[in-house]
Structure formats: structure tokens, C-alpha cells
């Protein structure tokens, strides 16, 4: 396979992976809203869709890695990104750098959305736990003693019915 063809394939894979990560980031925001709305049916379907997108990202990542290694080998064997980039013609180097930056920005965007979701869930769980401990102290077994040993004893299960 010619180096030009490998570069073109690599660029397409970078673009495809960036689009999938952007799609996952959008779904992450939707998931955050559905969790806030407590729309559990929508949450379940969104998680299934996000899983499919994640699997597609992993597949493209594998193809992209294989193509990159082929390209690196064709250009002299050193497989560091900067080394491969330095051995490419100017226009290919610019295109590859641009697409790679776009991928990195998409990953950062997704990480930001994920961190926001994580912070929201941690805060919500902590608030719920605090409220339940105040309202039902008998049910609030800490789970661990002061010396870090696990406690077998625990309170009776508590079910909160939120349907009206």
C-alpha cells in the first residue's frame, strides 16, 4: 500500500473517531439531563446507545493504530507521532496535525462532560445519603468501624417510593 493511501486512510480514521467522540459527548450531556429529570427509561436507552458508540470508537481506534503503525513502518520504522509527522510532506503534515488536534479537543470535551456528570452524581449521592441519615438514623449503618474494619451488622433495608 502506498504511503499516500495510508495517510488518506489515517486521516479518514481520525475524522471518524473525532465524529464518534463528539457524538458520545452530546449523548453524555443528554444523559446528564435525563438523570437530572429522573427519566430512568431514557437513561437506560441512552446508556445502551452510548455503549454502542464506545464500541465503535474502540474499533476505529484499533484500525487507526494499525494504520499508523503501517505508516510509521513505511516511513522508516520510528513509531512516535512526532517522528512520523516530521517525515511527511508539508500538506500531509498540516492535515494530519489539524485532524489530530481536532481529535484531542473532542477527547477533552468528552472528559469535561464526564467530569461534570461524575461531580453531579457524587453530589447527589452525598446529599441523599445525608438526608437519609438524618431522617432514618437507625438505617444508617456506616459499614466500617473507626479502625477501618468492616462491620457485618447493618440496618434494615429501606425503600423509598417516589411515585405519587
Q: What tens digit of pLDDT does each residue of 148-157 get? A: 565 555 555 5
Among the CATH numbers 1.10.3470, 1.10.10, 1.20.58, 3.30.1640, which is that of 3-136? 1.20.58
Position 106 pLDDT exceeds 90: yes
Q: How confident is the model at residue 28 (pLDDT cuts 50, 70, 90)?
A: very high
What sign for the dihedral angle of Cα 76, 78, 83, 84?
positive
- pLDDT score at 144: 56
pTM: 0.74
- pLDDT score at 148: 59
Residue 144 gets which letter from DSSP? B
Q: How far apart are CA 33 and CA 156, in angstroms?
A: 32
- pLDDT score at 118: 86
Buried b or exposed e, range 56-80, using 16+ CB within 10 angstroms: ebeebeebbeebbebbbebbeeeee
Position 58 pLDDT exceeds 90: yes
Hey, how many other C-beta atoms are within 10 angstroms of the C-beta on 6? Answer: 19
The answer to whether residues 6 and 74 touch, using CB atoms and an 8 Å cutoff, is yes
The answer to whether residues 75 and 3 touch, using CB atoms and an 8 Å cutoff, is yes
Q: How far apart are CA 65 and CA 114, in angstroms?
A: 24
Q: How far apart are CA 103 and CA 18, in angstroms?
A: 5
The answer to whether residues 79 and 10 touch, using CB atoms and an 8 Å cutoff, is no
- pLDDT score at 14: 96
Higher pLDDT among residues 56 and 145, named by residue: 56
- pLDDT score at 163: 65
- pLDDT score at 76: 80
pLDDT in tens, 75-100: 887 778 888 888 888 888 999 999 99
- pLDDT score at 18: 97
Map out the domains of the chain as residue ranges.
3-136
Instruction: Look up residue 44 and give its three cell numbers.
Output: 437506560
Amino acid at each position: 500500500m502506498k504511503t499516500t493511501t495510508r495517510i488518506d486512510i489515517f486521516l479518514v480514521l481520525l475524522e471518524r473517531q473525532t465524529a464518534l467522540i463528539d457524538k458520545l459527548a452530546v449523548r453524555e450531556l443528554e444523559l446528564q439531563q435525563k438523570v437530572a429529570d429522573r427519566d430512568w427509561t431514557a437513561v437506560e436507552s441512552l446508556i445502551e446507545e452510548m455503549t454502542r458508540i464506545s464500541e465503535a470508537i474502540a474499533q476505529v481506534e484499533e484500525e487507526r493504530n494499525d494504520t499508523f503503525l503501517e505508516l510509521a513502518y513505511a516511513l522508516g520504522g520510528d513509531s512516535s507521532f512526532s517522528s512520523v509527522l516530521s517525515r511527511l510532506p508539508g500538506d500531509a503534515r498540516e492535515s494530519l496535525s489539524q485532524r489530530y488536534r481536532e481529535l484531542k479537543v473532542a477527547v477533552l470535551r468528552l472528559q469535561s462532560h464526564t467530569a461534570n456528570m461524575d461531580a453531579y452524581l457524587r453530589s447527589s449521592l452525598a446529599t441523599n445519603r445525608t438526608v437519609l441519615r438524618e431522617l432514618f438514623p437507625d438505617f444508617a449503618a456506616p459499614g466500617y468501624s473507626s479502625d477501618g474494619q468492616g462491620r457485618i451488622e447493618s440496618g434494615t433495608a429501606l425503600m423509598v417510593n417516589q411515585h405519587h
